[in-house]
Structure 1
Amino acid sequence: MTDSLRVWRRMTMPDLVRVHRYQSLPEQGPKVLFFSGGSALNKISRVFKEYTHHSIHLVTPFDSGGSSARLRAEFDIPAVGDLRSRLMALADETVMGQPEVYELFTHRLSQQEDAPELRMQLQQLVLGDHPLIQTIPNPMKALIQTQLAVTQARIHDDFDLRGASIGNLIMAGGYLNNQQQLDPIVFLFSRLVKTLGDVKTTLDASLHLGVELDNGEIVLGQHNITGKEKDILPSPIKRMWLNKGLRNIMPTNQHIGDDRKDAIESADLICYPPGSFYSSLLANLMPEGVGRSICQNSNPKVYLPNLGVDPEQQGLSLMERIQRLMTTVLEDVSGAPAFSPLDYLLLDDEYNYGAVDGQQLHDLNIIVIRTPLMAGKIDKYDERLVAKALLSFA
């Protein structure tokens, strides 16, 4: 039996020597793991790939709004929008990558054109006649056509293609063509666009979010929670769970795969990044095995809070968000955790996050790090400053 040891080092913030070393050899960069969803982390991710090609992005598959909602309703599949956008954020954009595939995956069909015209454009893509797909060499072109043909064959005649992401349509076809599993098609398209990092859904499962509000009201569906597509919730969120479907209250859960467990336990740094507090961050911490894996990792865990207004965190101070984050992780752990779910609170040195209770953080063994992270931007982090700060922990 071996004992776990935790080794501490003196840290400089930002550690420009360390950062320069990673930038010189990103192929040997650290495994920095992010629990995220949505687009909040995409700009940071695009910068991060300059420093390491080994970042790990566990994104939520529980979204139920936008064009992903139409695909979920049509095929009962996990949400693929966040997955696709993160793959694109980490894609190799140099001449060594596949810029034609990148352009196709990021293209959306028009919101204004009528249904017959959009159907014709999809048919052109399937046949390989559309300008966006003509320049893609085989066998990639044929592979993409195959997935799109599956989607085309399976959607109903009244399926709304307005604003549809081509990348989402391709991934949906791949899911349907691979025994209703996302992982094989994600792996395949990661290779196609030469993703400089590892992107996966936390769960390869088609589940939704449910919340109970402080006023007792129950709300099902991410699109009803965020306060972006629908009105802001009338009361703060009291608790959240994973739900089977959108019609009835049916709490459920599943255990993460062994590859996710290994990725979390072996990461050099775990980051709880900015994004919608419940539907992006906490949602990723809810599947069985996530909390246990986090607390088996002895390396640093860092929380970088939101700036500006997040409708989901109404009624929650910074200290309450920290407590809720830690509680969500620890609910998955039986007995005393081997290691803490959170070690550092990373804050901009000038931004007002609200009251920071130094004594409470001390009692929780959480160290506050203040460093420039905004570079004069209003309610926005500077992605390069954030990347350098996070890499200083790794």
Structure 2
Amino acid sequence: MADIILSRAAEIPDQLRIARAKSSPNLGPRILFFSGGSALNDISRSLKSYTHNSVHLITPFDSGGSSQVLRKAFNMPAVGDLRSRLMALADETELGQPDIFRLFTHRFPTDADPDTLNKEFRSIVHGQHPLMQAVSQPMRSLILTQIKAFDARRPKDFDLRNASVGNLIVAGGYFANDFNLEPVLFIMSKMVAVLGTVRAIVDDNLHIGAKLENGSVILGQRELTGKEVPPLPCPIQQLFLTNAHNRLPREAVRLPMRNRRLIRKSDVICYAPGSLFSSVIANLLPLGVGATIAERHVPKVYLPSLGTDPECPGMDLADQLEAILSALKIDAPEHVANPALVSTILCDETLYTPQIAKRLSRLGVQCVPTLLHKAENPHQYDPNKVCDALISLS
């Protein structure tokens, strides 16, 4: 009975912390995520009810999907994951900019002929499309400036099928701002009233590569994920950055000071669900990430993906943690303790076993078994349960 009373008493501060965050999300904690892809988007949408101060450092190294089309045409960083996170964090109420949100999330049809696609694109560029007409001035003119910058560079054979209008606007802003992502991300954040901060981990046009345990080398994020290509034959031994031609030394790519400041001000650091190597560890490769994380004395949480990650053949939860720690320790202070880099694993009950907990304990990392998955699908996180857990740690 005493144990039950103590357990319930321990829950009370967590419940109060959650209630306080929900009542004043503008004063909510600064939860910082290292992520990429769409795995965190549903959680991000729910997080807006808890805090307007979350920070999302996103990898711009994607080379698949719609980002692949833009990267091939313009030799530029990937913008799709950045745009989708901006939209996930946008204020979708009438207090925000719902008309701009609808424009940015619109995609061209996948089955239309080139003439139909070009006709719709021209109507957007000339401000005649209903979605563009719905945007009030002066925002419409500002958006048109970005899309026209894209149009001025667009190859005649550019494939518009399934293209996101938001991605094209970001690309245009990238060109209009001297090939820098940071200014256009700032502008778009203001346009859709983003309730948080979204930044690329670095503002560079780079790719990722991997050395596998069998000694082979694979270049490009698309080749690693097992989504558009066959799965990897064996685990990844090491991830690295490349300029598409040569492997770059770690000191060649440095974490920008603006992102160091965000890490230093964070209340919780979270290694988010998603493809372990191309979405999470890719963000840890720039010089300075591990050292800056080690400096900050806050909870540092790994929230592993549910289900199967094609990038992790034969790897269990402890192996995944060791991969994260290895990437961080390359530039962390010598002899840094593991908890200074990852202190806790929020482990859904479907992933937890006593054997895994024992291995994690040997690594000095606390494993917290928690019911986090959706009732109807054990392979998907319940966004509200995850947000409750993260806020409780803040």
Q: Would you call these one fold, judging by a TM-score over 0.5?
A: yes
**CA displacement 1:212-264 (0-9 Å, x = unmatched):** 1122211111011100011112222111100111xx34334411111100111
- SS of the equivalent of 2:331 reads coil
The one-letter amino acid paired with 2:247 is M
Instruction: Tell me the equivalent position of 1:208.
Output: 207
1:250 to 247, 251, 254: 247
C-alpha distance in 2, partners of 1:359/1:114? 58
> Structure 1 residues 12, 286: closer, same or farther in 2, change over 3 A?
farther
Count of residue pairs brought into register by the alignment: 382
Instruction: Tell me the equivalent position of 1:7.
Output: none
C-alpha distance in 2, partners of 1:312/1:29? 34
The one-letter amino acid paired with 1:379 is H
Task: Give yes or no for contact 1:14–1:389 (8 Å, CA) kept in 2.
Answer: no
The one-letter amino acid paired with 1:388 is D
Let me know the Cα RMSD of the aligned residues: 1.6
Instruction: Tell me the equivalent position of 2:308.
Output: 309
Higher normalized helix content (fraction of residues): 2
Task: Give yes or no for contact 1:13–1:371 (8 Å, CA) kept in 2.
Answer: no
C-alpha distance in 1, partners of 2:352/2:187? 41
Q: Under a length normalisation based on structure 2, what TM-score does the superposition of the two structures give?
A: 0.93
Instruction: Tell me the equivalent position of 1:3.
Output: none
Task: Give yes or no for contact 2:210–2:218 (8 Å, CA) kept in 1.
Answer: yes
C-alpha distance in 2, partners of 1:233/1:81? 24
Task: Give yes or no for contact 2:106–2:166 (8 Å, CA) kept in 1.
Answer: yes
Instruction: Tell me the equivalent position of 1:383.
Output: 383
Instruction: Tell me the equivalent position of 1:186.
Output: 185
Q: Which runs of 5+ in 2 are unaligned?
A: 1-8
Greater mean deviation of Cα atoms: 116-125 or 300-309 = 116-125
C-alpha distance in 1, partners of 2:389/2:19? 12
> Structure 1 residues 230, 89: closer, same or farther in 2, change over 3 A?
same
Q: Which runs of 5+ in 1 are unaligned?
A: 1-9
| Amino-acid identity (%) | 45
C-alpha distance in 2, partners of 1:70/1:375? 34
Deviation, structure 1 residue 355: 6.2
Task: Give yes or no for contact 1:68–1:80 (8 Å, CA) kept in 2.
Answer: yes
C-alpha distance in 1, partners of 2:263/2:22? 23
Greater mean deviation of Cα atoms: 12-21 or 123-132 = 12-21
The one-letter amino acid paired with 2:296 is N
Instruction: Tell me the equivalent position of 2:393.
Output: 393
Q: Under a length normalisation based on structure 1, what TM-score does the superposition of the two structures give?
A: 0.93
Greater mean deviation of Cα atoms: 112-121 or 334-343 = 334-343
Greater mean deviation of Cα atoms: 28-37 or 153-162 = 153-162
The one-letter amino acid paired with 2:172 is G
- SS of the equivalent of 1:210 reads strand
Deviation, structure 1 residue 356: 4.0
C-alpha distance in 1, partners of 2:374/2:152? 49
Greater mean deviation of Cα atoms: 166-175 or 11-20 = 11-20
Task: Give yes or no for contact 1:13–1:392 (8 Å, CA) kept in 2.
Answer: no
1:172-321 equivalence runs, <5 A: 172-245=171-244, 248-252=245-249, 253-321=252-320
C-alpha distance in 1, partners of 2:342/2:366? 9
Deviation, structure 1 residue 155: 1.2
The one-letter amino acid paired with 1:36 is S
Deviation, structure 1 residue 77: 1.2
C-alpha distance in 1, partners of 2:174/2:207? 18
1:346 equivalenced with 2:333 (yes/no): no
Instruction: Tell me the equivalent position of 2:47.
Output: 48
The one-letter amino acid paired with 1:259 is R
Instruction: Tell me the equivalent position of 1:100.
Output: 99
Task: Give yes or no for contact 2:270–2:303 (8 Å, CA) kept in 1.
Answer: yes
- SS of the equivalent of 1:204 reads coil
Instruction: Tell me the equivalent position of 2:118.
Output: 119
Greater mean deviation of Cα atoms: 231-240 or 174-183 = 231-240
Deviation, structure 1 residue 12: 3.7
